[in-house]
A and B are shown apart, each in its own frame.
Chain A
Amino acid sequence: DSGVTQTPKHLITATGQRVTLRCSPRSGDLSVYWYQQSLDQGLQFLIQYYNGEERAKGNILERFSAQQFPDLHSELNLSSLELGDSALYFCASSLKLDEQFFGPGTRLTVL
């Protein structure tokens, strides 16, 4: 158990819909990272927050957004969903830019 929690574990929705994925970092970690892992593209870094502020952006689509709240939990919002958005979404946390602890992931299926 990494100490990072993600909800929900599974999510099935339809194209065009919007979903919110939630992540609670390890106690004391200030950074939260979001990743997308699909079968054909491996692990893709989406975005990083540090103590409530956006720190770095990776390959995140404009239809996706994220935020980190004062209690340090984070949410990833995915809108206008497409079939290709089906993937595993991982959240990770770290104290600094070093070892990241990954959550168990949310499996999103878009039908």
Chain B
Amino acid sequence: GESVGLHLPTLSVQEGDNSIINCAYSNSASDYFIWYKQESGKGPQFIIDIRSNMDKRQGQRVTVLLNKTVKHLSLQIAATQPGDSAVYFCAEYSSASKIIFGSGTRLSIRP
């Protein structure tokens, strides 16, 4: 498949370790956030979301943390697996229907 973002920052993680991917968002009025995973040659896939009235939300092996004070979002993946290799995007939504995607981070897994 086509490579996405040849100049993306890359996070390299040992298989089995935890991964933390960070995202700084831009609009203080954003009230809804989503993390997407995009594998090579495919469209983005929803991972987890969080609303601005929360600061933490957990899913299966994934946790999203939201710090509105510094406009920062993070995605934590527990026990990273080879199948987690992908580009990860955060997206912010505001009530004005503004949707802004982050530039993405490439997660690479070392065996």
B3 at the interface (CB under 8 A from A): yes
Which residues from 33 to 92 on chain B have a C-beta closer than 8 Å to any C-beta of chain A? Answer: 34, 36, 42-46, 49, 89
A76 to chain B, nearest CB (A): 15
Please give me the residue from chain B that is nearest to A104 by CB atom.
Answer: B43
B25 at the interface (CB under 8 A from A): no
Which residues from 45 to 81 on chain A have a C-beta closer than 8 Å to any C-beta of chain B? Answer: 45, 48, 55-56, 58
- Flag if A39 contacts B43 (CB, 8 Å): no
Interface residues on B, range: 20 to 34
The 8 A-B pairs with the shortest beta carbon distances in the complex, nearest first, are A102-B43, A56-B97, A43-B101, A45-B99, A99-B46, A42-B103, A102-B44, A90-B43
- Flag if A97 contacts B104 (CB, 8 Å): no
Q: A99-B34, A107-B2 are in contact. Are A42 and B104 (CB under 8 A)?
A: yes
A88 at the interface (CB under 8 A from B): yes
Give chain B residues whose Cβ lies under 8 Å from the Cβ of A44.
101
B58 to chain A, nearest CB (A): 17
- Measuring CB to CB, which residues of chain A are less than 8 angstroms from any residue of chain B? 2, 4, 33, 35, 37, 39-40, 42-45, 48, 55-56, 58, 88, 90, 92, 97-105, 107
- Flag if A90 contacts B104 (CB, 8 Å): no
A37 to B91, CA, bound (A): 14
Give chain B residues whose Cβ lies under 8 Å from the Cβ of A102.
36, 43-45
Within 8 Å by CB of B4, from A2, A39, A48, A104, lies A39
B29 to chain A, nearest CB (A): 14
Beyond the given A4-B43, A92-B43, please list 15 additional residue pairs across the A-B interface where CB-CB is below 8 A. Answer: A37-B4, A39-B7, A42-B89, A42-B101, A42-B104, A43-B101, A43-B104, A55-B97, A90-B44, A97-B93, A97-B97, A100-B46, A101-B46, A102-B45, A107-B2
A99 to B36, CA, bound (A): 10
Please give me the residue from chain A that is nearest to B4 by CB atom.
Answer: A37
Can you offer 21 A-B residue contacts whose CB atoms are under 8 A?
Answer: A4-B43, A39-B3, A39-B6, A39-B7, A40-B5, A42-B102, A44-B101, A45-B99, A45-B101, A56-B98, A58-B99, A88-B4, A90-B43, A90-B44, A92-B44, A99-B34, A99-B46, A100-B46, A102-B44, A105-B42, A105-B43
